Amino acid sequence: MSKRRDVSQAPSLTDKQLEARCKELLEAGESRNTKAAYRCALNHYHNVWGGALPATEQDICRYLTIYSSHHKPSTLRLRLAALSKIHRDLGQPDPTKGEIVQQLMKGIRVTNDAPQKKAKPMTLQFLRQIVEAIDRNATEARRAAAESSVPLTEVQQHRLRRVLLASARNKALVLLGFWRGFRSDEISRLSVEGIEGARGAGLRIFLQRSKADRKAEGRSFPVPALRELCPVDAYFDWIDEAGIREGRVFRGINRLGELADTGLSSKSMGVLLAKICVDAGLDPNGISTHSLRHGFAHWAADSDWDLQSLMEYVGWANVSNAKGYLPSRYNFGSLALTPARLSEGTAPDVLGATPSIVGVILSRTSGES
């Protein structure tokens, strides 16, 4: 005999409420960044170009041909993906999958001989210079305030507070971003409630959603405690200085030294990192938040991490994507004029200072990643 289900406790919803709730859950299951990108793509096709919806293969081919010399193949691929989705949602045949459209895209890729631009990997030397500049700036601000012969004015107090907060936040952001290889949207979504750990022991960060986690099952990311350039100490220094006990970890700071209630957006991360570089007297050209992830991959490869360990630690599901972040290694032996560790350029003194970091992070992450 089949067991009868008790539905007496099920919430009572009207058909309209049920439909609205279902739509809400479906939208929540799609990445916010993906939705924004698709909206932008559809706006360009439908409103800017004036393309018809639903579209035919001929419409799509005309659109691609016109913009083939104005946009990169990756941009056109994104717009095709958006058009494909809107047709599926409308229950219409998908014109983007047609043989002519696919062949046209292949021709666009072949004739586009510009190499794909990638973020410049941030080296350990570059990271160290940033952190040293941040620490120096905070120390000088504290010293100037302590040595002042007169009490600080209200404006000076606000300025000091802003400098100290920005220094603590920026240091935590670059160190967590580098040693965890986080993307900008992952950095922006870090919340205090999703982080546990202690100084000297490491952190464990839980993210409900990440790019490789297509099913939104959530994943925990271990963060090692290091002897120098430590992301764990930097994190606790920041939340202690800011007094953050809940909500987003990284937030804006106004001119009065007050924290924003909401977190920094992923789009603002690149602008902030460029400013951090400039404040440190470094050239931000080619540096983006992806440079943190790219730089960690180079560091791990230089430190003899195998590909599987790197993929598990960073969160890559695709081998070809992971390999795209790794520097090529061609050994010319005694004939080579360049250092073996290309990611550190020509700075053997920096390489000599890294074994302590290498040893600690490998010991902390072995068995966890």
The Cα–Cα gap between 220 and 222 comes to 7
Q: CB–CB of 162/255 below 8 Å?
A: yes
Query: Token pair of 303, please?
Result: 């430190």
Q: What is the pLDDT of residue 240?
A: 96
The count of structural domains within the chain is: 2
Q: Give me the CATH number covering residue 218.
A: 1.10.443.10
Comparing CA positions, the residue from 202, 37, 183 lying closest to residue 119 is 183
Statement to judge: residues 58 and 150 lie in one domain: no
Give domain status of residue 116, yes or no: no
Beta bridge partners of 277: none
Q: Looking at the domain assignment, is residue 75 inside a domain?
A: yes
Question: Which 3 state secondary structure label does DSSP give 220?
Answer: strand
Work out the angle between the directed axes of helices 307-314 and 290-302 (0-180°, nearest 10): 150
Same domain, yes or no, for 88 and 169?
A: no
Evaluate the omega torsion of the peptide bond into residue 54 and state whether it is cis, within 30 degrees of 0.
Answer: yes
What are the residues whose beta carbons fall under 8 Å from the beta carbon of 242, sequence distance 6 or more?
Answer: 165, 168, 169, 251, 259
Let me know whether 58 and 189 are in one domain.
no
| The token pair that represents 189 in the structure block | 């979504």
Instruction: Say if residues 361 and 179 touch (Cβ distance below 8 Å).
Output: yes
- Chain CA centroid to CA 23, Å: 28
Asked whether residue 276 falls in the same domain as residue 323, the answer is: yes
CA atoms of 213 and 207, how far apart (whole Å): 10
Flag whether 12 is in a domain. no
Residue 117 lies in a domain: no
Q: Is residue 158 part of a domain?
A: yes
Q: Do 208 and 294 fall within a single domain? A: yes
Q: Quick one: 67 and 185 in the same domain?
A: no
d(CA 101, CA 63): 10
Question: Can you give the pLDDT at residue 282?
Answer: 92
Residues 47, 167, single domain; the answer is no
24-54 burial code (b ≥16 CB/10 A, e <16):
eeeeeeeeeeeeeebeebbebbeeeeebeee
User: Hey, what are 236's tokens?
Assistant: 């606790």
- Cβ–Cβ < 8 Å for 228, 357: yes
Answer yes or no: do 132 and 263 share one domain.
yes
- Please tell me the distance from the alpha carbon of residue 333 to that of residue 321, in angstroms, as a whole number: 29
Angle 263-29-221 from CA coordinates, rounded to 5°: 55
CA–CA dist 64, 349 (Å, integer): 51
Rounded Cα distance between 310 and 322, Å, is 8
Read off the CATH number of the domain in which 42 is found. 1.10.150.130
Show the tokens assigned to 141. Answer: 């601000």
Boundary of a domain, candidates 70, 85, 111: 111
- The whole-number pLDDT of residue 368 equals 41
Residue with tokens 């706006």: 43
Cα(147)–Cα(160) distance, rounded to whole angstroms? 13
Strand partners, 221: 205
Q: Which of 78, 111, 144 is the last residue of a domain?
A: 111
Which two structure tokens, joined as six digits, stand for 109?
A: 């890729």
242 phi and psi, to 5 degrees?
-85, -15
Same domain for 280 and 346, yes or no, is yes
Beta-ladder partners of 251: 263
Residues sharing a CB contact under 8 Å with residue 261, sequence separation 6 or more, in sequence order: 247, 251
State the Cα–Cα distance between residues 91 and 340, nearest whole angstrom.
Answer: 56
Q: Are residues 131 and 244 both part of a single domain?
A: yes
The parent domain of residue 176 ranges over 124-365
Same domain flag for 165 and 279:
yes
pLDDT tens by residue, the chain, 369 residues = 444 454 445 566 677 766 666 666 665 555 566 788 888 989 999 999 999 999 999 999 999 999 988 888 888 999 999 999 999 988 999 999 999 999 999 998 888 766 666 778 899 999 999 999 999 999 999 999 999 888 999 999 999 999 999 999 999 999 999 999 999 999 999 999 999 999 999 999 998 866 555 555 678 999 999 999 999 999 999 999 999 999 999 999 998 999 999 999 988 999 999 999 999 999 988 888 889 998 999 899 888 888 888 888 888 877 777 777 776 666 676 676 654 444 444 433 333 333 344 444 444 444 443
